[in-house]
């Protein structure tokens, strides 16, 4: 706690000297005069000249005697100025250039990931659901989020279509824009994981190198790639958005699985397979992911 000086009680006699009240040797003023009134034509009116004089005298005394500089100290006796200097910009590190951004400085936060994780009683990570359109990524993401929420865990879903409604609405589905779409989502997922949140990213992300680039953003083990391994013909038979039909008709160009490739993960953490004869429910697939999180300590701080 900081030490604060108490102010002396105000004196209203109008005779302050060096911050102390000096009793007057003359007869005490009347009530009207004490309150700053004068007699004018037999009527009590406010005497502004007297009020200004008393107020000026009072303020000068208070300013000179009461409000002397105070140096705040904590309970240990250490000056708070030292702590403030640490975060005031006086201890600047190396300026750097990143991409097209020049003369920027990384500012360390005194509250780090470990403290946030202890607060949430979980470990921040990114669960990256990848697969063809219609493979069930969004459905599994919602089931997984509900499962973890029921266990008291904080999650957030970054759905590919949802992000394109805002942050990535300026991107098309061309190869270069798809790469930028994945890069941006990867950076947002990294921030959420650093905040201690279990981030669930659900998007096709067809190119292996783009997914690997997102993996490289996070500490080892914090990127959990989940491949929904569903055959193309099964996804096309579902066609929840009618996109396969449009792609087959030539109305959509560069559609993954039709005229643009999907590159399966070469070494992912979890594979959720679905076939025509054996199709697990979304809740069962979510349980598989939760089991992985439990085994690897992500649901404990």
Pairing of strands 270-273, 223-229: parallel
- Alpha-helical (H) ranges within 66-112 are 80-86
How far from 173 is each of 76, 170, 183, 260, CA to CA, in Å? Answer: 60, 10, 14, 11
Contact 266, 211 (CB under 8 A): no
**Terminal alpha carbon distance of the chain:** 30
Give 260's DSSP letter. B
Helix (H) or strand (E) holding 203: none
Which residue in the list 205, 237, 266, 267 is annotated as catalytic?
A: 205
* CA angle, 192 then 195 then 200, to 5°: 30
Q: Count Cα atoms within 13 angstroms, Cβ side, for 200.
A: 23
Contact 206, 182 (CB under 8 A): no
205 catalytic? Reply is yes
- Alpha-helical (H) ranges within the chain are 31-34, 48-65, 80-86, 113-120, 137-150, 160-163, 175-194, 208-217, 232-238, 243-248, 282-295
Name the residues annotated as catalytic.
Answer: 205
């Amino acid at each position: 706690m900081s030490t604060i000086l108490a102010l002396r009680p105000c004196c209203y006699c109008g005779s302050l000297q060096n911050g102390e009240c000096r009793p007057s040797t003359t007869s005490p003023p009347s009530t009207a005069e004490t309150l700053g009134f004068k007699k004018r034509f037999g009527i009590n009116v406010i005497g502004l000249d007297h009020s200004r004089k008393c107020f000026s005298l009072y303020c000068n005394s208070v300013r000179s005697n009461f409000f002397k500089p105070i140096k705040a100290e904590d309970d240990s006796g250490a000056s708070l100025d030292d702590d403030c200097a640490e975060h005031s910009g006086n201890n600047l590190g190396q300026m750097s250039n990143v991409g097209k951004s020049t003369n920027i400085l990384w500012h360390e936060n005194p509250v780090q990931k470990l403290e946030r994780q202890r607060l949430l009683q979980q470990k921040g990570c990114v669960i990256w659901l990848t697969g063809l359109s219609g493979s069930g990524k969004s459905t599994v993401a919602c089931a997984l989020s509900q499962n973890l929420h029921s266990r008291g865990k904080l999650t957030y879903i970054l759905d590919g279509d949802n992000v394109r409604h805002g942050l990535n609405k300026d991107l098309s589905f061309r190869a270069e824009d798809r790469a930028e779409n994945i890069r941006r989502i990867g950076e947002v997922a990294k921030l959420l994981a650093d905040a201690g949140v279990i981030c669930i990213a659900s998007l096709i992300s067809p190119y292996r190198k783009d997914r690997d680039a997102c993996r490289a953003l996070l500490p080892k083990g914090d990127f959990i790639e989940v491949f929904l391994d569903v055959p193309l013909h099964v996804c096309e038979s579902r066609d929840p958005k009618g996109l396969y039909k449009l792609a087959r008709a030539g109305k959509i160009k560069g559609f993954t699985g039709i005229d643009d490739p999907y590159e399966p993960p070469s070494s992912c953490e979890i594979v959720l397979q679905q076939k025509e004869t054996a199709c697990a429910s979304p809740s069962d697939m979510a349980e598989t992911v939760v089991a992985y999180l439990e085994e690897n300590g992500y649901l404990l701080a």
